[in-house]
Chain A
Amino acid sequence: MNRKTYASILAFTLMAIVFLTGCSSSSAPPVVGITATSPAATATVTTAYGAFTATVTLDGIANILSPQPAVTFTAPSTGASCTFANGTNTETDTAVSGVATSSVCTANYVPGAFTVSVTTLPAAVASISLTNGGGVYAFSLSGTEIVNGGPNSYALAGSVVIDAAGDLVPNGLSATANVAGEQDYNDAFGFTSTQPGGDIVAPEALALVLTNGQGTLTLTSGNASGLFPNGNATETLGVQFVNNNHALITQFDGTATSSGTMDLVSLPSVPNGSFAFTLSGVDANAYAPIVLGGVFTLSSGGLTAGEYDQNDAGTISPPGGILFPVPPVTVPPTAPIVTASAPDAFGRGTITGTGFVDNGANPYAAALNYYAVGPEALRLIDVDVADSGSGSAFGQGTNATAGAIASLGAPCAGNPSQSCGVFGLISNNFGFLYAAAGYFDITDTVGGAFEGVGDNDEEGSVVGGATPPVISGTVNFPGVDGYGSMVITSGNFQDVETLGVYLTDPTLNLNDPNNTTSGLGGAVVAELDALQGTGVVAQQTATATTAFTGNYAFGSQDFFCNICEFDFVGQGAVTNLSFGTTATGLLNDPVGLFGSGNQQYPGVTFMAAPLPDFYESTTGRYSLFTTNATPNPFVVTVPVPASNPPATTSIPFNVVVYQASGTQLFWVDEDNFSLALGSIEQQGDLSLVPAAKRARAPAKTAAKAKQK
């Protein structure tokens, strides 16, 4: 080749580079460009944005490229995102005449802003900014039904799609059109949702009405009958949001009262891995109180390992529990066989078991439905017609294979080699009524010896008060699968003596399963002695009184008289260990403790200024007692209904608080006439709560108010 040939090749190459990179020697527009648009900038989770459009241009002119370029739309692979028709977060389409159109992209379950990247070659990039609004929320409640010849024991669980305005909207991913929610209701006394479909919740405008994260959620049946199994067209829940992902709830109508939680659903998937669980309800044999707890491992929808304990009206399974069989199972089965189905678009699926045995030695099958909050949190509800119950199953994480005594608590503040935690227990409503809470310190993390203090109210017989009993005993985990027990041997905690303890994932907050930053670790607990109840253990990480400050949401389930119950949720700001006058909420009093008949009270005020015990820095215990030197009972004041003035508007309660951390506390009512267990949870961001835009700003702390 001569010099002229080389020069020609060089010139051609330089021209090609200029063309391909879009550079030019002048300030002219880029050679290749791309723009992209979406029909909508926002969509409620699970609903469609529509098809995206991308226009590819050369020197600002469309429709001159040949061959037709490919355009790739890519949504985020995790977090808030959308899914194309191919079931993934990315899709490549051809730009015909310079225009590429994607398939419909449907918002996933995660609320929040995200960007869809749109690219083509030669290199050009555009983006579409989108926001998933609202959320899919799973709820679960249990308590006392008033209708249907009540009191009856009942449970209610479901899942609904709520848009950013608070409307119940159809789930765009559901196989059934125009369905905003699904639920299961069961009182085991004639009101059981028909299976396998359960109940349908209809779309409804402004179903969630909130002020400062507090308000009501109205569920309307879309069933052919127009009624829920309880014979009502609507159910009303009282709602108190703790943060964008989590709320404390109570049924808030005159038909029933109960307590529970509502949590944002994230990407439901087939339950897989190891879980710890508890269930509490009434049995089929005699409508008697029954609790179960244990651990199990699911793989591909089948149960591969596990063991459980059962306390059926005082008949307790043998120490060591009952083993679930590992397939292949001999026939006939000698232990329950359990299978789980994949969840539907609401996160609802089934867990069925056969081969259980009740306290009458009768074999029975168990039909449970689950509502997935996420891969590590399932709300469980028994949907058998003859028995009722509810509970949760939580992922075990590393505690499925390395569960140990020390895993039950967190390193104690005073001695990190020891393990400290807080527990709370409450009966179901058809057995002995009791509520207990306490603090423990596992002083020997090898042998399991622990000591602590506790409060326990058994039908008005109280241990606690000014000098709570010093309890002691042993924690034991015979294996590494997180299945164990806590036995109180000090003989001073009334009938609370033997607890089945089932370790959960140390990275999981049991009150708020979407919370990955605080209140992590612990266990679920089932009572395995004369009493029938369930509860939780939370690791204790901070006992400083200064940590108990800021905005808090709270709730409580209170039993009194003969299977009587009231429930409340609320919120307030704690400053200098006092809610001051900031605490307000909703209280459901269908039996009429406040003397005004079946009432649902909004605008209830709560006075609480917890007094730290002398040893609070160790135990995390506070008291609100009429008998304190300066009486400081927890005072609940209801507004006066115009139609039926109550006998009393204010009732003082003797309450004890146990602080696991500044974000998570438990409280127990220990009165002669009533008993209760509830939680106090520090509030977080509420800006993405559905209907938040219609609400005022969150309550200011007194400190902030002072600054103003």
Chain B
Amino acid sequence: MKRLSSGLCVLALLLAVSLLAPVQTAANDKKPLSYDVSKEVTLNGTVSSVLEKPAQGMIMGSHLLLSTSSGPVDASLASFGLRGKGAAPVASGQQIEVTGIMKTIKDKQVFLVRTVKVGDEVYTIRNEHGVPVSPHGRERASRKTAGEGL
């Protein structure tokens, strides 16, 4: 255990030293994918770019680059946001409303989107725990809404 303790202490020291180094951006969120619905905010913006696949440095999944009144926002639509039946029909230049929470992941701010409002339609991207909603899930939800059941 002595060997382990000393090793881990050195590792901890290295970590502390690295934390003292100059930081270019805000500290990364300790739990990047955890979703606290109580911290949700809603943003309005114009879609400047639609990324079906992540650009380098982004978390996985599809993204929207939004121009908002407070500046550009990287909005994460998770794996299924732009994919399959019931996907949000978003195009560049559109004005949209997104609800979600802001995180710092991979040294960048990213907005984890739970819902997207395009026109009068609201599209669910993640559930209340932040878990991505798949096209299959959207389809099943619509069937339930239609009274078909499972």
Instruction: Give the B-binding residues of A (Cβ under 8 A).
Output: 149, 152, 188-189, 282, 284-289, 313-315, 386, 412, 414-415, 418, 430-434, 441, 443, 451, 453, 458-461, 467-470, 491-492, 494-495, 497, 529-532, 559-563, 614-615, 617-619, 672-673
**CB-based contact A287/B134 at 8 Å:** yes
Within the complex, the shortest CB–CB distance from A317 to chain B, in Å, comes to: 14
- Chain A residues with CB below 8 A from B132, complex form: 430-432
Size of the B side of the interface (Cβ < 8 Å), in residues, is 48
**CB-based contact A561/B105 at 8 Å:** no
Complex CA distance for A286 and B131, rounded to whole angstroms: 11
- Chain A residues with CB below 8 A from B68, complex form: none
Given pairs A430-B132, A443-B1, 10 additional interface contacts (CB within 8 A): A284-B150, A287-B140, A414-B4, A451-B8, A459-B32, A461-B106, A494-B33, A562-B61, A562-B80, A615-B10
A452, closest chain B residue (CB): B8
* Interface 9-mer from B12-20, B41-49, B113-121: B12-20
Pairs of residues from A and B, 4 with the lowest C-beta to C-beta distance, nearest first: A314-B129, A287-B136, A286-B137, A615-B7
- The secondary-structure label for the interface of chain A is loop
Complex CA distance for A443 and B132, rounded to whole angstroms: 38
- Chain A residues with CB below 8 A from B92, complex form: none
Is B79's CB within 8 Å of the partner chain A? Answer: yes
Given known A-B contacts A467-B18, A470-B8, A286 and B34 have beta carbons under 8 A apart: no
Is B2's CB within 8 Å of the partner chain A? Answer: yes
- Chain A residues with CB below 8 A from B106, complex form: 460-461, 672
B53, closest chain A residue (CB): A561
**CB-based contact B3/A618 at 8 Å:** yes
Complex CA distance for A467 and B17, rounded to whole angstroms: 11
**CB-based contact B130/A314 at 8 Å:** yes
- Chain A residues with CB below 8 A from B57, complex form: 672
- Chain A residues with CB below 8 A from B84, complex form: 149
Complex CA distance for A470 and B12, rounded to whole angstroms: 7
Within 8 A of A (CB), among B97-117: 105-106
Is B96's CB within 8 Å of the partner chain A? Answer: no
- Chain A residues with CB below 8 A from B61, complex form: 459, 562
Given known A-B contacts A288-B137, A418-B1, A313 and B131 have beta carbons under 8 A apart: yes
Complex CA distance for A509 and B12, rounded to whole angstroms: 33
**CB-based contact A460/B127 at 8 Å:** no
**CB-based contact B140/A285 at 8 Å:** yes
- Type the 1/0 row for B52-65, where 1 means its CB is closer than 8 Å to any CB of A: 11101111111000
**CB-based contact A441/B59 at 8 Å:** no
**CB-based contact B8/A453 at 8 Å:** yes
**CB-based contact B1/A470 at 8 Å:** no
Within the complex, the shortest CB–CB distance from B102 to chain A, in Å, comes to: 15
- Chain B residues with CB below 8 A from A314, complex form: 35, 127-131
**CB-based contact A152/B1 at 8 Å:** no
- Chain B residues with CB below 8 A from A459, complex form: 32-33, 59-61
**CB-based contact B131/A562 at 8 Å:** no
Within the complex, the shortest CB–CB distance from B58 to chain A, in Å, comes to: 7
